[in-house]
Amino acid sequence: MVGSTNGDVGTGGKLPDWVLAPIPGAKKRTVRRHAAPYGVIEKVKLWPSKTGLLHGVRSVKLRGGFVELQTHCGHDIRMRNSRNSRVARHLRNKIYDEPCPRCRIPSWKLEKFESTSFV
C-alpha cells in the first residue's frame, strides 16, 4: 500500500508519501522598514560600509544611543542608533557594491539578504 508504514523492516516496503514530497521554498524574511539599525543589524548580521563593501557582523551591542559592532574581518565600529542614518537607509534599500572578501560572506546569506523585504 503506497504511503503506509507498517513497521516491517527489510520487506521492500515503499516509503511514506511525505518522504518523496517536494521541499517547500524558503520562507521570505520581512523586517520592519523604519526600525532602528540595531534591530536590523542584529537580525540580518550584515553591515554596509561607506566604501560600498558589505561586511558580515560577528557581534552587535547596544550601548546607550550607540551601536557597537565587530565585523568578521576585524573592524570595530561605533555608530549612532538612528533610523535616519546612512546605514539604516543602505540596509533598507540594499545598497552595496560588493561583499567584503575578508569577511567571506556565504552566497546563501547574500541571497537571503536580497530576498528580505522591508515593510
- Does any domain span residue 4? no
Here the cell at position 65 is 544611543
Res. 23: pLDDT tops 70: no
Percent of the chain exceeding pLDDT 70 equals: 85
Q: Considering its fold, how many domains does the chain have in total?
A: 1
| 88 lies in some domain | yes
> Has residue 25 been placed in a domain?
no
Q: Cell triple for residue 13?
A: 516496503
pLDDT of 108 reads 92
Measured CA to CA in angstroms, residue 3 lies from 11, 17, 93 at distances of 15, 5, 47
pLDDT tens for each residue of 88-116: 999 999 999 999 999 999 999 999 999 88
Helix axes 37-44, 86-93, angle to 10 degrees: 50
Structural domain span for residue 69: 30-118
Specify if 11 maps to a domain: no
Residue 13 belongs to some domain of the structure: no
